[in-house]
Amino acid sequence: MNRACRLAAGAAAVLVLAGCGGTHQQQPPTGPLAAAADQRAAKAVAATDPEMTCTAETFGIAPAGAKTIDEVATVYAWVYCRSKDGVTGEAVPAAVGRDGTARIPRDSDFSSDLDRIFPADVRDRATGGPPADLTHSP
């Protein structure tokens, strides 16, 4: 085995042993479940301010193995809201319960709130910023 191959094999072994990348992130839902989760998140966050119009993109659900929206206890989503006059807008990560309660990190304690609100298997997506196409919605 040549030196380059040994180095590559060694580097790969170190990455595997180190866990390479931290906590595994769950895959976002797709299809009808994603659409229903997006709707739940957008509706809940919009209800906090009737002057806003919101859209959402779900990046996780709990339980992660849910197959239908009725099985989902919590939706984790980036929600983009803008004023109905179109002057202001903001994207926020939100956790929305089955009852429609939205939990959003506060500016004053953003990083602690992220740790408290979002479980490890979705937290990287909550901290990574909204998808670029979401901020061009409603």
* Total count of domains within the chain: 1
Domain region containing 50: 25-136
Domain membership of residue 17 (yes or no) is no
Cα–Cα–Cα angle for 27, 31, 33, nearest 5°? 75
Range from 36-40, 78-82, 123-127 carrying the lowest mean pLDDT: 123-127
pLDDT at 67 over 50: yes
Residue 46 covered by a domain: yes
Give domain status of residue 29, yes or no. Answer: yes
The residues, ordered by sequence, that sit 6+ positions from 105 with a Cβ below 8 Å of its Cβ are: 92, 93, 113, 114, 117
To the nearest whole percent, how much of the chain has pLDDT over 90?
A: 62
Residue 13 in any domain: the answer is no
Q: How confident is the model at residue 110 (pLDDT cuts 50, 70, 90)?
A: confident
Rounded to two decimals, the pTM is 0.79
Going by C-alpha positions, the residue among 78, 55, 80, 58 that lies closest to residue 69 is 58
Residue 88 forms part of a structural domain: yes
Q: Which residue has the higher pLDDT, 49 or 76?
A: 76
Residue 6 lies in a domain: no
